[in-house]
Chain A
Amino acid sequence: MFLANADALAATVPDGALIAVPPDYSLPPCALGHALVRRGAKGLRVLGVPITGYVADLLVGAGCVAEVESSAVTLGEAGFAPCFTAAVRAGRIRMRDATCPAIHTALQAAEKGVPFMPLRGVIGSDILAHRPDWKVVQNPFADTEDQILLVPAIRPDIAAFHAAMADEEGNVWVGRRREVATIAHAALRSIVTVERMVPGNMLEDERLAPGCISATYIDAVAVAARGSWPSGLLDERSADIAHYAEYARLAKTEAGFREYLDRYVLAPRAEAAE
């Protein structure tokens, strides 16, 4: 299904949905995040795969989020994520701390349609003590004591990401960022903004096919040029470091965050309506 723009994609995201997003260095759905703020989404549960940054922080600051599950929320070189940090300290959102491979493993279980998968490590971390949904069992194949962690499958309601291109068949291309494919495989629905449309079918091209996610997994696509901004786009565009710094500075205060929304998030809707 091809939709007109990111706002049309955002209209398909129900309040309270579990929405999985890739990290800022890997095709984050920033234009969609802006559209979710414009839509006034509420009660979203954001899953960082395996971490998140700008998108989650913006949605938390705008009051769209009830819960974050992630291995980290950070603006990278621009520092801590200000809205997230303030919301956790004030207890305004539920934080389900994880560790990167646990999130990958839980999504791989969903890809395979199995209820859980084992993972080494983690035992002894306080993360485990705060995850009643994770279990430690004796390895049933070992003759000696061997404790191992089991994590339940995560089936997100929605996978949301940006991609470099979509073809006429609805296949999308993400290059080597295959964690995005894992999210799409595991989720019930995938909604994707793309930089551009290309003719034909990319799966017919041996060089493009390995970087594709088949339309089998994709429910809705909309063109949003620079849809991962202020993050970068693969080898096409670098992250907008100056904008990250501006966001980090403004989002430190409530008034500054409102100013940011007015200037960069809410204004584009007014322009589109003209």
Chain B
Amino acid sequence: MTIRPEERLATAVARLILDPSAPPVRHAAVGNASAIPAAACLLVKAMGNPLRISLLTRPRGNPFTEGGRELFDLTGQGRVDLFFLGGGQIDGQANINLLGTGEWPGTAARFPGSFGSAFMYMMTGRTILFREEHSPRVLVEKVDMISAPGVSPPGVFRRGMAQALVTGRCVFRFDAARARFALESVHPGETVQSIRAQTGFDFDVADAVPETPDPTEQELALLRGPVCDGMLETYPEFCARVFNRRLAA
């Protein structure tokens, strides 16, 4: 059975969510353009782990009844344990840039804007950074503008930081104390050298870097069954492309 790259990424993210060395996740919130993180959360739940999942853009049955601010109020209290963020640029200190490049506020390229990242990154228990494009233009030594900082100085309240950065080529772990990434695993077809060539920041490498494992038969069956069922309404195009499933009219 052919494993799609999206299925491998969702499984890699699910394993990070379940990592026993990281703070436990009771409640994960998933934003708009985050179909693979949503699949990962639903996979964790389908494997029998208790997990509350708030899909922020769910068109029906949205979990928030107090308006858009409720997510941020919950997160401010520490009731959201896991969030996902991406970036037009992500740098070696885990700073993210959703604003643009060139001079402020984006004279070279302008991205949509920071959304809630400047708050969510600092107030969530942990964040998994996710960006499929892994290239020197995205993974840079230093972001042109900081939407949300990777680390914060003492005297600034911060609940959590990046746990990892998952891309279309590899998984990096983030060491918050050193503000530095380490290569955790490479996806099939990649090597330490190919990752170095496609990454604008320096990172640590152990003597032997494993390949990102394949999803198990059980994980694949769950992804293509109940996980897809749970995503169809919120991520219809993703489900059509990856699982070849469409909502009944």
Contact = CB atoms under 8 A, between A and B. Distances in A.
B68 A26 contact: yes
A121 B99 contact: no
Interface stretch (A36-44, A67-75, A190-198): A67-75
24 contacts: A50-B68, A70-B113, A71-B113, A71-B116, A72-B113, A73-B112, A80-B111, A89-B106, A97-B99, A98-B114, A99-B147, A100-B68, A102-B118, A121-B119, A123-B122, A124-B122, A126-B146, A130-B105, A144-B155, A146-B155, A147-B155, A147-B157, A176-B64, A178-B66
A76 B117 CA distance: 16
B65 interface: yes
B124 to A, nearest CB: 10
Nearest to A101: B72
B162 interface: no
A5 interface: no
Contacts of A99: 114-119, 147
B60 A235 contact: yes
A60 B43 CA distance: 42
B189 interface: no
Interface string A19-57: 000010110000000000000000000000111000000
The listed residue with most A CB atoms (<10 A of its CB), out of B107, B117, B152, B153, is B117
Provide the main secondary structure of the chain B interface: loop
Contacts of B76: 101, 120
B113 A51 contact: yes
A122 B118 contact: yes
A90 to B, nearest CB: 9
A201 interface: no
Contacts of A77: 33, 237
B114 A72 contact: yes
A108 interface: yes
B34 to A, nearest CB: 12
Given A84-B110, A122-B122, A125-B147, 11 more contacts: A26-B68, A72-B113, A88-B100, A99-B118, A101-B69, A104-B67, A120-B122, A126-B147, A130-B105, A146-B155, A147-B155
A23 B122 CA distance: 24
A48 B193 CA distance: 44
A97 to B, nearest CB: 6
Contact of A104 (B57, B69, B115): B69
A266 interface: no
A121 B115 CA distance: 13
Contacts of B123: 120-121
Nearest to B237: A77
B59 interface: yes
Contacts of B100: 88
Report the interface size class on chain B: 35 or more
Contact of B152 (A123, A145, A179): A123
B166 interface: no
B116 A50 contact: yes
Interface in A164-197: 176-182
Interface in B98-135: 98-100, 104-123
A233 to B, nearest CB: 11
B114 A127 contact: yes
B116 A124 contact: no
B20 interface: no
A85 B113 contact: no
Interface string A213-240: 0000000000000000000100100100
Interface in A120-170: 120-128, 130, 144-148
Contacts of B119: 99-102, 119-122
CB-based closest 6 A-B pairs: A178-B67, A72-B113, A124-B149, A101-B72, A121-B119, A179-B67
